[in-house]
Structure 1
């Protein structure tokens, strides 16, 4: 079977979608150093049913958003810990760019059983309310 012949000139091809304005001005980077996690742990906290959110303003010139993820052995074996962190990373990709404040560090700490079993839509709502609470109701 031969493929159909393409006689088009390419004029009807769609241009790739332009990145949103939020993604252009805010960069999400992952926290790597233990000291950054410890500084976030001593700052603001907001517990939810699915996870614990720790947040702090860096007070430096960097306007990027930094995010860290923690899942201790209380979550379960390595498979469960990795699943919990994957769900938290997906949650951050969906919700955080539109609601986070530039120049802040956020750490999401997984909760035993809840992070893995809670519906994803509930986790998204948990993150929205936690961010609003951490920022004093001033979430963008």
Structure 2
């Protein structure tokens, strides 16, 4: 996702805060069953190298888990938090699985 309007619309969806990120899931209700991903990491987190590293980690998580566990026809937004860059990848993965399961219920 690249449009600001899509990110703002996702703010009205469900929110799940984890130590490394915040997950927003917004059901589009447009009849399209694709799962879309948006990633936001602000400058408060760090410089460009740190932000890009965090985005790469989020993309890897989403590529692995969203096809099976993501909500069909929904936008999934990952917002990076300050503790996310130091967290172990396995811990981030476990948190993402936990957040997706909670939002699905």
For Structure 1 versus Structure 2, the TM-score category normalised by the shorter chain is: over 0.9
* 2:67 is the alignment partner of 1:97: yes
Q: Structure 1: give runs of 5+ residues left out of the alignment.
A: 1-30
Question: May I ask how many residue pairs the two structures share in their alignment?
Answer: 105
Asked which structure has the greater RCO (Cα within 8 Å, sep 6+), the reply is 2
Query: Structure 1: which 4+ aligned runs deviate by more than 6 Å?
Result: none
Q: CA RMSD in A?
A: 0.8
Alpha-carbon distance between aligned partners in 1 of 2:70 and 2:90, rounded to the nearest angstrom: 18
Alpha-carbon distance between aligned partners in 2 of 1:41 and 1:74, rounded to the nearest angstrom: 20
Q: Structure 2: give runs of 5+ residues left out of the alignment.
A: none
Query: What residue is the counterpart of 1:68 in the other structure?
Result: 38
One of 116, 123, 128 as aligned partner of 2:92: 123
Query: Cα deviations across residues 94-124 of structure 1 (Å, max 9, x unaligned)?
Result: 1111101210100000011x22111111111
> After the TM superposition, which residues 68-87 of structure 1 pair with which residues of structure 2 at under 5 Å, given as runs?
68-87=38-57
